[in-house]
Amino acid sequence: MDTLPSKEIMCKNGIPNKISKIYRPQDNSVTFKTADEAKNYFWTVEAQHLFRYCCKEEYRLTDDSNGLHWTVGFGEPRQIKHPGPDKME
């Protein structure tokens, strides 16, 4: 994570990319009270930490409360250059 620019730099020129998904548990009897409870069910603490690098995060429960609808905006301004994959550790 040390090679990523700060969240502020990544958001400075807008959000060039966006992804939105709905996660549902395989067990249909599982329901959630809050979006945080659903995030903890689906993702490890480490995975949740990675999403904090995104410019915009939105989480909500599905209408039936048995799924997590999440959307993140991400990307970096074009002027920031990173070394190629062979140069990164």
70, 48 in Cβ contact below 8 A?
no
**pLDDT in the model for residue 88:** 45
Average pLDDT over residues 62-87: 72
What is the tens place of the pLDDT at every residue in 9-34? 666 656 667 889 999 999 989 999 99
Q: Are 18 and 73 in contact (CB under 8 A)?
A: yes
Predicted pLDDT at 56: 78
pTM of the predicted model, to two decimals? 0.66
Handedness of CA 40, 42, 48, 53 (dihedral sign): negative
Spell out the domain ranges in the chain.
7-74
% the chain with pLDDT above 90: 40
